[in-house]
Amino acid sequence: MRNLLIHADASRAMAARTETALAIGRRHRSHLSFLIASPFQQFIATDPFGGMYLAAGQLAKAELADQELAERLATELAREDVPWDVAIADGDVLSAMSLAATLADLAIVSLGQPNTPMRAGDLALTVPVPVLAIPESSGPVDLDAPVMVAWNGSPQAAHALRAAVPLIRDASEVILVTVGADDGRIPAEDALRYLSRHGIHADFRQVERGTVTAEEILEQQAKTIAPGLIVMGAFGRPRLRETLFGGVTRYLLEAAPAPLLLAH
């Protein structure tokens, strides 16, 4: 976790992202890269005759706001004990973050709402690195708190588990939760063995499905465990199917009780 990419904006959720990045950076001697993304093409207007015009005044205002945010971040980070940089990218948030994440070890974003410019699930599907998504109502990630791993035996879950190892080494406990029969392609026993070889001795909790959905059971388990982090594979089923019929990823992206570490 030596290269952290953090989405930077002027929202109230930015404080949790920054504090989380600083906490991880101090433990792993990471470099923090903050990225401000603005789609400047939105200031290009067209008329009915095919002409194109630049809304110069609005563009200048947006550029000034980005520069002020970058300077404010630089002032705050100058007092910290980790290396950092702040960059401004021309483009929508998802595209800019996706490109920058190609040489990162972890992308840190806010979980956001369904109508926000970039959703954590979208980013998890487009980048080759894990995405740490922090609910807007949450504070920074607590690296010492319990960790809940949502395990379904899928390659996505295994990828998320591998990616989580550096972040969960110091957790007070790690609990692997499976809903229903352990009939995935990768047995929970293999996942527990993998963690043990990294010095992480996790507990295993198998919960019967009953009359409620898997996602509701995971939410109930999270409320019981009170994790500082939930580790899960993103969109183990096809994305379109989850969009139309629902699924664990979609449910927790909308109602996560704790920060999510997502990997596809």
The domain locations on the chain are 3-115, 147-263
**How many other C-beta atoms can be found within 10 angstroms of the C-beta atom of residue 212?**
11
The three-state secondary structure class of 232 is: strand
Give the separation between CA 82 and CA 239, rounded to whole angstroms: 37
- CATH number, domain 147-263: 3.40.50.620
State the pTM of this model.
0.88
**How many other C-beta atoms can be found within 10 angstroms of the C-beta atom of residue 145?**
17
Please tell me the least confidently modeled range out of 6-10, 165-169, 209-213, 224-228. Answer: 209-213
For residue 176, give the amino acid letter: L
At 252 the pLDDT is 83
What is the distance, to the nearest Å, from the Cα of residue 231 to the centroid of all Cα atoms in its chain?
Answer: 10
Domains 3-115 and 147-263 share a fold: yes
At 182 the pLDDT is 65
At 38 the pLDDT is 82
- For residue 148, which of 170, 130, 175, 172 has the smallest C-alpha distance? 175
The answer to whether the CB of 17 falls within 8 A of the CB of 7 is yes
DSSP-assigned beta bridge partners for residue 125: none
Domain formed by 3-115, architecture = 3-Layer(aba) Sandwich (3.40)
DSSP string, 124-158: HHH-SS-EEEE-TT--S--TTS-EEEE--S-HHHH
How far lies 74's CA from each of 71, 79, 171, 228, 238, in Å? 5, 9, 31, 28, 41
The token pair at 28 is 């792993």
At 56 the pLDDT is 58
Q: Output helix, strand, coil percentages for the chain, rounded to the nearest 5.
A: 40, 25, 35
pLDDT digits (tens, 9 = 90+) for 91-144: 888 999 999 999 999 999 998 755 455 578 888 888 889 999 999 888 899 999
Q: What single-letter DSSP state applies at residue 238?
A: -
At 45 the pLDDT is 54
Measured CA angle at 134 (ends 72, 81), to 5 deg: 45
pLDDT digits (tens, 9 = 90+) for 214-257: 888 999 999 999 999 999 998 654 443 344 334 777 788 887 88
Please report which helix (H) or strand (E) contains residue 178, including its range: strand 174-179
Give the separation between CA 264 and CA 123, rounded to whole angstroms: 10
**Cα radius of gyration rounded to whole Å, the chain:** 20
The answer to whether the CB of 180 falls within 8 A of the CB of 214 is yes
The answer to whether the CB of 174 falls within 8 A of the CB of 146 is yes
For 171-198, letters b (16+ CB in 10 Å) and e give beebbbbbbeebebebebeebbebbeee
